[in-house]
Structure 1
Amino acid sequence: MPSILIVDDEAIFRRGLRKIIESSSGSWQVAGEAKDGYEALEMVENLKPDVLLTDIRMPKMDGLQLIQIAKERYPKLLVIVLSGFDEFTYLQQSLRHGVRDYLMKPVEREELFKTLGKLEAELAVKPQPTTELYTDEPADARMIRQHVSEHLVAGLLKGYVNESDLALLSRIGVTFQEPSFACMIIKLDKDTLDQERYDKADPSLFQLYIQQIVQELLDQRAKGFSFILSETEVVALVNLADRPQAGDPLFELSETIRRRMISLSRLTVTIGLGRTVGCIKQIPQSFQEAKIAQLHRLIVGGDRVISYERIKESNAELPWSSLLELPLELLESSIREGKPEQTKQYAAAFITGLCSQAKSPEVIHQQICKLLIHGYEEAEKLRITQNWLGERTIQAVLLEICSLNSRTELIDCCCGYLGKLAECTADGQRKAEQDPIDKVIRYVNQHYQEPLSLTQVAEQVYLNPAYLSTLFKQRTGTSLVEYWTDLRINDAKKRLASSNEKVTIIAESTGFGNIRHFNRVFKSVTGLAPNDYREQARSVRL
Structure 2
Amino acid sequence: MYRVLLVDDEMEVRSGLKLKIEWTALGFEVAGEAQDGREALALLENERYDLVLTDIRMPIMSGLELLKQCAENYPELKVIVLSGHDDFHYVKAAMQSGARDYLLKPVVRSELSSILGKLRIELDSEKQAMFHKHSLQHQLKKSHSVMQEQLVLEWIDNDDPEKVPSLGSEIHRLGMEGWLDETLHIRFLSVEIRVPRGRLGEREEGNHLFLLAFQLVCRETAEDPAIERGAFAFYHRSYPQMMHFLVAAPTAEEGASLSEMLCGQIQMHIHRYLKAEAVIGIGASAQGLASVRQGFLSAMLAWSQSHSGSGTQVVFSHSGQDDFAELFPEAEKRLTLALENGDLDRFSAALESVLHSGNTPIQGTASFLLRVILLMDKVAGKYRLDVPETQHWMFPDMLWKHRSEASVLAYLTGTAAKVIERIKNSKVSGGVEAVEAMRRYIDASYMNEISLTMLADRFHINPTYLSELFKKQTGSTFSEYIAQVRIGRAAELLQNPQLRLSDIAELVGFANASYLSIVFKKHYGVSPNEYRNHPADPPT
TM-score, normalising length: structure 1: 0.36
TM-score (norm 2): 0.36
